[in-house]
Structure 1
Amino acid sequence: ILHVTLTERRKEYEKAKERDAELRNLRDTAKLQEFFLQEIQLGELWLARGEHKKSIEHLTNAIAVCTDPNKLIEVLEDTLPPHVFEMLVHSIPYTLQV
C-alpha cells in the first residue's frame, strides 16, 4: 500500500510539474505578445512625432520577437514612408545579431 501511494504521489508531482511548465510558457507567450504590441505602439508614436530613429528602434524590437517577421516587414513596407522603411531595412540585421 505504501509503494502505491509513493508511486501515485510521484505521478501527481510529475503532472503538476508539467502543468506548471505549461502555465509558465503561456505567461511567457503573453509577455512576449505584450512586448510586441508595446514596441509597435511606441514605433507608431515616435513616427507620428517625427522621431524616425526612435521609431525604427522600437519597430526592429517588434520584428525581432515577431513569429512571422517577414509578414510584419511587408506590412511595414506598405505603411511606413519610403525613407523610414529604408532606415528600418538597414537596421534589421543589427537587431537580429544581438
Structure 2
Amino acid sequence: MWDPAKNKKLQELFLQEVRMGELWLSRGEHRMGVQHLSNALLVCGQPQELLKVFKHTLPPKVFEMLLHKIPLICQQFEADMNEQECLEDDPD
C-alpha cells in the first residue's frame, strides 16, 4: 500500500544521498561519493533513468566504480531484507 509519508522520507533520503555523493566527489573522495550515489540508486524509484543521468554527468572512472558497486549493494539489500524477515518471523 502506498504511504505518502514514507514516500516523502524516501525522497528526502534520495536527495540527501545524491548531495552527499556530489560533496564527496567534489573533494576527490571517489569511494565515499560512489557509496552515497549507490545508496541513492537503492532508494530511487527509477534507477535505470538515474544511471543514465550518472553516465552523462560523472567522470568515466567514477561511473565505472558505481557500476561495480551495484551488485554489492543489491546483495547487502537482500541480506538486510532476509534478516528483517527472520526477525519479524521470530516469536520471541
Same fold (TM over 0.5): yes
Q: Over the residues paired in the alignment, what is the CA RMSD in angstroms?
A: 1.2
Superposition TM-score, scaled by structure 1 size: 0.74
Percent identity of equivalent pairs: 51
Residue 31 in 1 paired to residue 9 in 2? yes
Structure 2: gaps spanning 5 or more residues? 77-92
> Deviations along 1:54-96, whole A, 9 cap, x unmatched?
0000000000111110000010000000001000000011111
> How many residue pairs end up in the alignment?
76
Considering Cα pairs closer than 8 Å and 6+ residues apart, tell me whether 1 or 2 has the greater RCO.
2
- Bigger CA radius of gyration: 1
> Deviations along 1:14-67, whole A, 9 cap, x unmatched?
xxxxxxx87xx1111100000000000000000000000000000000001111
Structure 1: gaps spanning 5 or more residues? 1-20
Higher helix share: 1
